[in-house]
Structure 1
Amino acid sequence: MVDSFAQYYHQRTKYDPDTIASKSQGLDWSTQPLSYKEYKIGTVYDLKPYLQSTKQDNESYWWQRLSLFLLCSYGLTARIKTMGEPMYLRSAPSAGGLYPAEIYLVSKGTSFLPAGLYNYQVKDHTLIHFWANDVWQHVQGACFGHPALMVADLAAITTAVFYRSAWRYQDRAYRRIFLDTGHLLGNIELAGAMNGFRPYFVGGFIDRQIDELLYLNPEQEGTICVIPLVDIDAHPDATIAAFPTALPSRINLEYADLPDGQLLKNCHQMTEITQFRQLPANTSDIDPVKLDDKYNFPFCLKISTQTNPIDWQDNIPLARLENTMLKRRSTRAYTGAELTIDELKQILDFTYHPRHYAEQNLDPSPDYFDLSLIETFIAVSGVQGLDEGCYYYAPKAQELRQIRFKNFRQELHYLCLGQELGRDAGAAIFHTADLNMAVQKYGDRAYRYLHLDAGHLGQRINLAAIGLEVGVSGIAGFFDDRVNEVLGIPEDEAVLYITTLGRPA
C-alpha cells in the first residue's frame, strides 16, 4: 500500500527517541521572525476607542462589537520585555509564542466599512484598509458559492506565515500552524456569539485564488480558512442553506522522496484545492457534523460524565467568558496535586457539548470540519474519584471507558519529550484520528481539517479549564508512536495533539 502525501508527511515528521537528537537544531536568534505584519500604506481604522465606548447609536455599537470580536479572537493581551523585540501575547495560544496566523477582513461594502481588503494590525488594535476595490464576488467564486457569503457583508480570512513557526519547529511546524489556527477558530466562534456575529467556517476553497486576492507570497504564506461573519443583529431571521464545511482535495500517491526542510512547503501545496470540484449531490440535505463513539471496549469500567454546565454569566451575559478569553495563559508548571472529577466533567461538557450552553446564548452547534474523525483518550494520573489509567471518552454516551489500568506519570514525562508538564499533570487529553480513513474521505487536505478541529477542541478545553481555575497547557511535541504503545491507543490512530490539565504551581 502506497501512502498519500499527507501520510508520508506525518510519518516523516514524527519525533522518535532514536533520531530526535540528530534532527535538533539550535535557534538562530538573529533570524527570529516578527509575529505580526505591518502595512505601511492604507486607511487606518482605530478600534481602541470603541473598547470603552458608551455611545449607543448604531454606528458606534457596530464598531464596538467588531472591536471586541477581534480583541477576544486574537487581540494583544500582554507585552513581555525581552532583550530585543517585546513578546506580544494574544488571546489565542500559539506554540512557542510565534503566532503564525494573520487575520484579514473582506467587506462587501457597508455604511460602516467600505468595500475592500483589511488587515487586522494586532500590535495596535487597528484595521488597515489596504485595497479599496470590491472583491466580494472573487471570494464567493473561490469558495464555490458558499451560501453564507450570500447573506454576510463581512468575512474574516485566516492565513499563516510559515516561517514564523518553521524557524523553531522546522518541518513539523505545519502541524503546529493548523493547531494554532484551530485555537484561533475556537476563539472566533465564541467571540462571534458574544458580539452578535455567526461565523461560518469554510475549509474548502481554491487556495491560489484567495492567496492572490490577498497578495500573499505562496512560497512563504497561505490561506487557511475563510469565515463569513453573518451579523445576527442585521439579519436576525437569516436562513443559511446547509453546505459542507470541508471539501476534498486530491489524494497524492506519486511524489518524490523529499529531504528535510522541504516537507512543510510541499505539504501545503499537496493539500491545496486547485480547481472547482464536484460538490455532494444534495448539499441541502447535509447533516451537521455529529460526535460519535467509535470504541466500546467490552467489560471495561464506564463512568458517566454528565454534569451541570459551567456558568459563564457574571451579572452581564457572558462577561465571565470574555474575561477568561482575555486573561487566558498557558500554565508553565503543575504542582502534581489532584484535580476533582467534577472539574474534568465540566471541562469535557463545555468542550464537546455546546448545545448545553444555548441558554447562555452560545451557539449550540458551532462549525467544525469533521468531528466524526476525531477521537479522545484521557490519561488520568491524579483525579479524585477516578482510577489511574487511560480512558476513551465517548462523547455521544457522555462516559469515560477505561482501557488501561496504570499510573502514567513517568511515561508521560518521557513521551512529552521530558516536559515536566506531562509528569505533573492530573490528566492529559489526547486527540487522535485514523489518518487513512480521513484521507479517503477528504484527500490529503484532511490533514488540515484534523489539526484545525483538534486545535479548536483544545481551545475550548483551555477556556473551560481557566474558567474553573485549573491549569492547562497544550503539547504538540511528543514521541508519536510511543504514545500509542504506552497508553494502549489503537495503532491506526495518529496522535494529533495533547492537552495537559493540572494544579498550577
Structure 2
Amino acid sequence: MNNDIKYAIKYHEETKHSPLSVRMSQHYLDWDNRPKPFKVYTNLPSIPLPRNFPLPLANALDSISATGAHADRVPAVDINTLAEILFFSAGITREVKHNSGTYYMRAASATGALYPIELYVICQDIVGLKAGVYHFCPGSFTLAELRKGDYRAELGDRMVSAPVTVAFTSIAWRNAWKYQARSYRHWFWDAGVIAANFLATTVAADLTTRLVMGFVDKQVNQLLCLDERKEATVTLAPIGVGAALPPSRSTITVEHPKVMPLSKSEVDYPEIWEMHAASSLVDADQVRAWLDSTNQQPAKSNLSLPKYKVAAPVRKQDEATLDKVILQRGSTRKFARLPISFDNLATILYSSTAGVPFDFLKNGDSVIDVYLIANAVEGLRPGSYFFSRETGFLDAPNPIFHARNVKNGITLA
C-alpha cells in the first residue's frame, strides 16, 4: 500500500490473462489436493460463540446505503453482537451436499468458492469475552484463543479507542490452488465482499466502524501468529468507540500455534509475496506518510447535458430486512428475460454508491467510477453511461469510457 507502484504494474502485466496464456497453460485442478475450507488449530482452547445472537433487522437498502452509524448512539459491543457480526459477515448459512463432498456456503461469496479470507478478533474485556486475540472458525462457530490480554495497542494509534477490532487476512494457497500467481488480486475481491456484509451489519447494529488499510504489516501479522509467506493481513476494522486506552507492551512474543494442513502439498508462488512485500508498510512513519500522500479523487465536472433524475428510493413497507437478504443470497443461472424499471436501476445505483469508510478517503471521496451499459431499462434509451452521485449519468457513446470522449450525452443529477 505504499506509493511505489512499479512492481504492481509489473505483477499485473506478468499475471494477466491473454488468449495465448489461457491456451498455453498446463495448470489443472488437482481435486484430491483441494485446500480445506477451514483453518483449524490443533492445540488451542476454543470458545463457542452464542447461536442465539440478535439479527440485523434494519432495512437492507438503508443498511447498505448508509455511510456509518448514528453519532449519537454508542451501544456496547458484547459477545452476542460480535457473534452477529461474524456470522453475517463470514458465517455458514447453508450446506450443499454432492457426491464429491459437502460444500459450506457462506454469508459472503468468494471466487471459486475457495474462501481464502480469515477473520480474527482483537479486543479488550467485553461482556462474555475476555481481552485477547482470537481466530474465528465459521465451521464450528468458535473463537480460538491465540493470545490472552489486551493487545489493541499493537494495531496502531488510530484503533486504540475501539473495544474490538476485526482483522481480515488471506491464506494465499486457498485461492492459488486454482488461480495460481494471479490470485493475489482475489485477496481484495473476496475481502471486499465480506467487508460489504460487515459494514452493513455494523450499521444495522448502530455501531461505528471503518476499514483501515494503512497499518504496520509485519507487526499485525506477528500479533495474529500468521505463518510468513502463507497468510497475511488485508485490512483492519475497528468496531465501536470510547474504550479505555490499552496498556503498552515492550515486545510481542513470536508464536506459531500448530494448524492442520490445508492440503497434502502446496505450491508457493513467489510473485504473490513479492507483490505483497512491495506494497507493505514497515513502520508507523510509513503509515502516516502513506495516509498523508493518498490522492483524493475530484468529482467529475457537471457537464451541461440533458438530465435524468436519480433520487433516494421510495421505501416500501414490505422491503426485506438485512438478515433475510444475506441469508437468501446466492448465485443463479436463471434470469428473467424482462426489462427493469428506471426506478429499480436508480435504487441500485443510489444504494451502492454512498461511499465506503476507508482510512485513506476523506469527506466521502471515492476512487471508484461507475460505468454501465443499459440495454433494457424502461425510460432510458439504450446506451453506455457514466454515473456519479454528484453529476448523474453521462452518455458515453464512444467505445472507450473516458470523460474526454463524452459528447451529445445524457446526464442525471
Are 1:346 and 2:320 matched, yes or no?
no
**Structure 1 position 368, deviation (Å):** 6.5
| Contact 1:76–1:88 (Cα < 8 Å) also in 2 | yes
Task: Name the counterpart of 1:404.
Answer: 397
The residue number in structure 1 matching 2:43 is 41
Q: Does the residue aligned with 2:88 lie in a helix, a strand or coil?
A: helix
Q: Distance in 1 between matches of 2:197 and 2:403?
A: 32
Cα deviation digits, residues 97-137 of structure 1 (max 9, x gap):
11110000011223532111111110122222232243222
Task: Report if aligned partners of 1:394, 1:400 keep a CA contact under 8 Å in 2.
Answer: yes
- 1:375 paired with 2:399, answer no
The normalised TM-score by structure 1 is 0.63
Measured after TM superposition, the shift of residue 214 of structure 1 is 1.0
Higher mean displacement: 330-339 or 384-393: 330-339
Tell me, in whole angstroms, the C-alpha distance in 2 between the residues paired with 1:23 and 1:186: 34
Q: Secondary structure at the match of 2:218?
A: helix
The count of aligned residue pairs is 355
Gaps of 5+ in 1: 54-58, 239-259, 355-364, 406-486, 493-505
Query: Are the counterparts in 2 of residues 302 and 400 from structure 1 also a CA contact under 8 Å?
Result: no
- 1:345-386 deviations in Å (ceiling 9; x for gaps): 1000101136xxxxxxxxxx7447445322111122222222
Compared with structure 1, are the counterparts of its residues 280 and 40 closer, same or farther at alpha carbon in structure 2 (3 Å cutoff)? closer
Change beyond 3 A, Cα 1:303–1:289: farther
TM-superposed CA distance for 1:67, in Å, is: 1.7
User: Contact conserved, 1:291 with 1:395, CA < 8 A, in 2?
Assistant: no
2:277 matches 1:269: yes
Name the structure 2 match of 1:69: 85
> Within 5 A, what are the aligned runs for 1:312-327?
320-327=321-328
1:178 aligns with 2:180: no
Report what 1:162 is aligned to: 172
The two structures, once aligned, show a CA RMSD in angstroms of 3.4
8 A contact 1:65–1:196 mirrored in 2: no
1:307 paired residue number: 311
Q: SS of the residue aligned with 1:138?
A: helix
Answer yes or no: is 1:108 the counterpart of 2:124.
Answer: yes
Cα distance in structure 2, aligned partners of 1:491 and 1:309: 27
* Larger RCO (alpha carbons 8 Å, 6+ apart): 2
1:395 aligns to 2:403 (yes or no): no
| Equivalent runs, 1:418-433 vs 2, <5 Å | none
Is residue 144 of structure 2 the alignment partner of residue 128 of structure 1?
yes
Q: Quick one: distance in 1 between partners of 2:12 and 2:386? A: 23
Partner SS, residue 240 of structure 2: strand
Separation in structure 2 between the aligned mates of residue 11 and residue 490 of structure 1, nearest angstrom: 22
Secondary structure at the aligned position of 1:377 is classed as: strand
Shift in CA distance, 279/52, structure 1 to aligned 2, threshold 3 Å? closer
Unaligned runs of 5+ in 2: 56-74, 245-267, 405-413
Measured in 2, the distance between the counterparts of 1:312 and 1:33 equals 44
> Tell me, what secondary structure is at the counterpart of 1:86?
strand
1:292–1:396 contact (8 Å) kept in structure 2: no
Letter in 1 for 2:114: L
1:165-192 Cα shifts (integer Å, max 9, x gaps): 1111112211122011011111111111
Give me the TM-score of the superposition, normalised by structure 2.
Answer: 0.76
* Cα distance in 2 between the residues matched to 1:98 and 1:333: 23
Name the CA distance, whole Å, in 2 between partners of 1:9 and 1:33.
Answer: 24
Contact kept in structure 2, 1:100 and 1:162, CA below 8 Å: yes
Identity between Structure 1 and Structure 2 (%): 26
Distance 1:152 1:276, change over 3 A: closer
Per the TM alignment, residue 295 of structure 1 is displaced from its structure 2 partner at its CA by 6.5
Structure holding more helix per residue: 1
* 8 Å CA contact 2:54, 2:84 repeated in 1: no
For 1:29, give the aligned amino acid. W
Q: Please state if 1:384 is matched with 2:381.
A: no
Q: Name which of 97, 104, 122 aligns with 1:88.
A: 104
